[in-house]
Structure 1
Amino acid sequence: MNPIRVIVVDDSAFMRKMVTDILESDNRIQVIATARNGEECLLKVKKLHPDVVTLDVEMPKMDGISTLATIMNTNPLPVVMLSSVTSEGAAKTLQAISNGAVDFITKPSGSISLDINTIKDEIIQKVLAASQAQLTKTEHVKQEPNLQHVTGLHKKSMIVIGSSTGGPRALQSVLTNLPEDFITPILIAQHMPKGFTKSLADRLNLLSNVHVKEAMHGEIIKDKTAYIAPGGYHMKIRNVGIANAIELIDDSLGYLHKPSVDFLIESLAQINKVNKIAVILTGMGSDGSEGIKYLKEQDPSSLIVAESEESSIVYGMPKSAIKTNVVNYILHIQQIGQMVHTITKRLGGR
């Protein structure tokens, strides 16, 4: 098997050296070149045709956002952004993800992170995942899913969505396809570190007909609202009398990811008197699979939707979900928003 060929782009010579050393410590990866800025990056991409580019957001001459736009317009390939955790850095990173970057890596202590080795495993895994990303999408065949078995048991419904690599773009597709009269509350676990989920929520809120916000501990879950779990916290749904509320938990609780899709779905399974819908979108790994199995065991009438391979940036999470044999619908990302709306209307409208 040929190694994954990577170009590392950063204006700091120290960071270029450190990221190169980290990547080349894995024999599956070969750094074929480095670049100091966007202009140099574009020349080397054109000449060397890498499999993956790691691209710093903030650079002189031509920054990462402009460089990414040119790459995606001229020679689309998997790009992983490196970003600092600042409000401006988070906003630019989410813009980059929306514009075609596969994923991002957070520098642990600013633009020049002397402690970059502390996230060595994350850098390697994200580059490996990016090399498997599907950037060229086929047009989906429009067909109406069979809804004959969708019957509402309760007056209200609740939706949970899990996503990881490629998730911000997938979430944008789902939420922007919801019509103005969509009411059902949505709770989202997107694998993302602290400092970025607020920017993601703010961005999606500007684009969507529903209100999108970063979830707060203790708040009552309201209709026509999508809640995104804050990075670094598990999100749980709990009943408080006649209402349902959000509980945020800092402890890892033994889950690999925080927020965990499994944990969120498992909490939905404990809520009574709502129709339950779980959606698994693009992402690396298998988070969500145990959750949907548990949900079906607790409530066989719950409905499970998984994103199809043809539209997933990374097919790991949906593929793992489908293998559980509890998924009811496998849909192209462009179908999912309208589909959940159709389901909730059929279940009773809320």
Structure 2
Amino acid sequence: MDHTASIRAVVADDSHFMRSVISDVLDEGGIDVVATAANGREAVRAVREHDPDVVTMDVEMPTMNGLDAVERIMDEHPTPIVMLSAHTSEGADVTFEALDRGAVDFVAKPGGEVSATISSLEDSIRETVRTVASADVSAGGVPQSTTTTTSRGATLDRPTLVIGSSTGGPSVVEHILESLPIEADFRILVVQHMPKDFTARFADRLDAHSAYSVREASHGDTIGGGDALVAPGDYHLVVDTYDRGRLSVALSEEPPVNSVRPSVDVTMTSAADVVTDPLVGVVVTGMGRDGAAGIEAIKAAGGRTIAQDAATSAVDGMPTRAAETGCVDTVAALEDLPRAIQDAIERETATNE
């Protein structure tokens, strides 16, 4: 995309009123709405005819729904897509299915119809559309996960893994957790920029697709090897104490860091402060610089650090900023991240023997 030119968008919604409202919100933010669509079939045609930089996509539409439209667009004319998602459990489930089919990100409606709360969403819609418009969707989807092998040393050394991600991240995190062997005995903390109510569903999905026991974190939670926690939306996840392989966490409502809460930096920095066994920090796709300071802290504490490469990141801001610190040990493509994590633990094991 030419970043000096105006972002060009297609707006798909079955409500004429909502198409007008969303178009006005984007236009007022300097985003050029080149076409609108009343159903998924029209959206597919509009993308083919106008070649936009980004699409906003409703879910429930006649003729062809939003999920099927996402799949068709990604098959025929790959284009970054933002979903408009109901702020409900059902809405979260549909949103993750849309992400599975190729959508890059979503805007959560705070309740009821968007028309009732559009003023509170204006900035979020514009920011998300701008971010997603820069996403690289040409590389295709996440590769099929295959569990990596592990050494006996990695099992004995009680490693902790902290993963930070944002735009485009859910499928990447899922790929990593699906691929890591339970024998590696990781304690895993996941910080995904995502609204509350969606993080619980995200944790459920990870739990269903991974050998690890995954749940949304609660204040005072304690985990050991084979367990994973997901930072809940709108709370920082702080590593509170660490003792003989048991890690406890606290939830904080301190102000956002890097304009986000949860913040990757908060979790990584706190882990670096208290974890005394092998520690690995991984920053994957996302906009901004959250995670860069955390990577510096983990490296300074003697841990291992990994960033996803720009070529396979939907949005390369976060991993690139992390790499620019000079504190990243390994830059890895999406398909190589699980192996890179295992290699990091094995190198740490060899160093300590």
Pairwise same-fold verdict (TM > 0.5): yes
Residues matched between the structures, number: 335
Provide the secondary structure at the position in 1 that maps to 2:274: coil
CA displacement at 1:213 relative to structure 2: 1.8
Tell me whether 45-54 or 274-283 shows the greater mean CA deviation: 45-54
1:1-41 residue CA offsets vs partner (Å, 9 max, x unmatched): 332111111122222111111111122x2001111111221
CA displacement at 1:254 relative to structure 2: 5.1
> Aligned to 1:104, which of 99, 103, 106?
106
Provide the secondary structure at the position in 2 that maps to 1:330: strand
Whole-Å Cα distance in 2 between the matches of residues 225 and 272 of structure 1?
16
Provide the secondary structure at the position in 2 that maps to 1:76: coil
> Aligned to 2:52, which of 50, 53, 56?
50
Residue 335, structure 1, aligned to residue 340, structure 2? no
User: Is the CA contact (8 Å cut-off) linking 2:158 and 2:225 kept in structure 1?
Assistant: no
Whole-Å Cα distance in 1 between the matches of residues 262 and 110 of structure 2?
19
1:232-260 residue CA offsets vs partner (Å, 9 max, x unmatched): 11101111665321211133255511110
Q: Normalising by structure 1, what TM-score? A: 0.90
What do you get for the CA RMSD once the two structures are aligned?
2.2
CA 1:111–1:37 in 2, change beyond 3 Å: closer, same or farther? Answer: farther
Q: Normalising by structure 2, what TM-score? A: 0.89
The structure, 1 or 2, with the larger RCO (C-alpha pairs under 8 Å, 6+ apart) is 1
Whole-Å Cα distance in 1 between the matches of residues 171 and 140 of structure 2?
16
Aligned to 1:23: 26
Q: Which runs of 5+ in 1 are unaligned?
A: 140-150
> Aligned to 1:116, which of 103, 115, 118?
118
Whole-Å Cα distance in 2 between the matches of residues 81 and 212 of structure 1?
25
Q: Which amino acid in structure 1 is aligned with residue 238 of structure 2?
A: K
Looking at secondary structure, tell me which structure has more helix per residue. 2
Q: Which amino acid in structure 2 is aligned with residue 45 of structure 1?
A: V
Provide the secondary structure at the position in 2 that maps to 1:31: strand
User: Is the CA contact (8 Å cut-off) linking 2:256 and 2:263 kept in structure 1?
Assistant: no
Tell me whether 225-234 or 245-254 shows the greater mean CA deviation: 245-254
Whole-Å Cα distance in 2 between the matches of residues 317 and 221 of structure 1?
27
CA displacement at 1:49 relative to structure 2: 1.9
Provide the secondary structure at the position in 2 that maps to 1:203: helix
CA 1:313–1:197 in 2, change beyond 3 Å: closer, same or farther? Answer: same
User: Is the CA contact (8 Å cut-off) linking 1:156 and 1:273 kept in structure 2?
Assistant: no
Aligned to 1:81: 83
Aligned to 1:143: none
Tell me whether 124-133 or 106-115 shows the greater mean CA deviation: 106-115
CA 1:253–1:122 in 2, change beyond 3 Å: closer, same or farther? Answer: closer
Whole-Å Cα distance in 1 between the matches of residues 252 and 15 of structure 2?
37
CA displacement at 1:135 relative to structure 2: 1.0
Aligned to 1:271: 274
Provide the secondary structure at the position in 2 that maps to 1:101: coil
